[in-house]
A = this chain, B = another copy of it.
Amino acid sequence: MSAYGGIDLGGTKIQALVVSARNKVLGSARRKTPTSGGPEHVAREMEAAMRDAAHVAGVEVLELVGVGAGSPGVVRDGSVTSARNLPGWDGTFALADHLQRALGVPVRIGNDVGVALEAEVRLGAGRRYASMLGVFWGTGVGGGVVFDGERWLGRGGAGEIGHMVVELDGARCTCGRRGCMEAYAGRGAMEAHVRKLVEKGRKTDLFKLMDKHGRDRLTSGIWARALEHGDELAEHMIERAVQAIAAAAASAVNLLDVEAVILGGGLGVRMGEPVAKRIAAAMQPHLFADDRPPEVEVAALGDLGGAIGASLLVRPRPHARSGRPAKRRAPASAA
């Protein structure tokens, strides 16, 4: 039986999987992403996580057909450049070569958000739609667009929904620009904003919960717990994020008229259905064709989607997709 490896390299954790040709998870392992060292240190942990997952699956790494990995940063020809949130990774590192030598099997690298969206399109919440917008809400907010069942990459950099402008001269974003959606909705920006408000005297249990659960940052789980506790500042911050995500997503839908919005990412998956409903409701007043809003669905593969999507990088593409509506391009003429 053919088995495939998939690794999702995140800012907080490394998720590795072994899956069957039919996408059954045969083994899974997780390690913390190193917070110091450099790319080689990170690659060593990726290798170890992959070996752990193979061990759980009861296979040798050398038996795997190949290993795919999704990485933040700019991915080109197996190398990763300027991976934000990863230690000492400002330059370019030949991640595919490095892992291939270490693991002894073919390795391919893709963009983390791209592979997670691909997984949803082929195996998850996107299967029912020919066109969709992916919104991956985590430390930053990544995205992607799918037309006729295929991701559109533009000149290679499409999908930056987090940097759509929702407020002229608005909040300063981590990217240095102003008014980006991510400046309101990114977990990183939210935490920075909360810290400022707390300095100014605002009350919240967010940091107590963080300490209690042994975290060093406001993770998705901490945000979710604070909401359950009825923490007012947490609720205010999430509402602000929901409004920003909804404005950007509605803008994208007004421009592209896609069938669905797929909500993934650490925060998106952790908050799940209730927040998808809130985003859908907040999109409604911005939708130009408000009589036929797109479906807003949570990523069906959950937080394993990234690793499953990465494993797709080393598998043959299915020959045909069935059950998709016909293309909706401009006809040669209108009647």
Residues of A within 8 A of B (CB): 68, 75, 77-78, 96, 108-111, 114, 118, 131, 143, 145, 147, 150-161, 163-168, 170, 175, 177-179, 243-244, 247-248, 250-252, 254-259, 285-286, 288-289, 292, 312-317, 328-330, 332-335
The 4 closest A-B pairs by CB, nearest first: A154-B257, A151-B330, A164-B251, A317-B332
| Pair B250/A165 contact, Cβ less than 8 Å | yes
Bound state CA distance, A243 and B147, in angstroms?
29
Indicate whether A154 sits within 8 Å of B330 (C-beta atoms), given known contacts A285-B177, A285-B178. no
| Pair B114/A330 contact, Cβ less than 8 Å | yes
- Residue numbers in B under 8 Å from A316 (CB-CB): 332
| Pair B155/A259 contact, Cβ less than 8 Å | yes
- Residue numbers in B under 8 Å from A175 (CB-CB): 288
**Nearest B residue (CB) for A110:** B334
- Residue numbers in B under 8 Å from A166 (CB-CB): 165-168
| Pair B335/A154 contact, Cβ less than 8 Å | no
| Pair B157/A257 contact, Cβ less than 8 Å | yes
- Residue numbers in B under 8 Å from A335 (CB-CB): 77-78, 96, 108-109
Indicate whether A255 sits within 8 Å of B153 (C-beta atoms), given known contacts A78-B335, A168-B247, A335-B78. no
A286 in complex: contacting residue of B131, B177, B329, B334, CB < 8 Å: B177
| Pair A255/B177 contact, Cβ less than 8 Å | no
**Nearest B residue (CB) for A74:** B289
Q: How far is the CB of A50 from chain B (nearest CB, A)?
A: 18
Bound state CA distance, A153 and B289, in angstroms?
13
| Pair A157/B255 contact, Cβ less than 8 Å | no
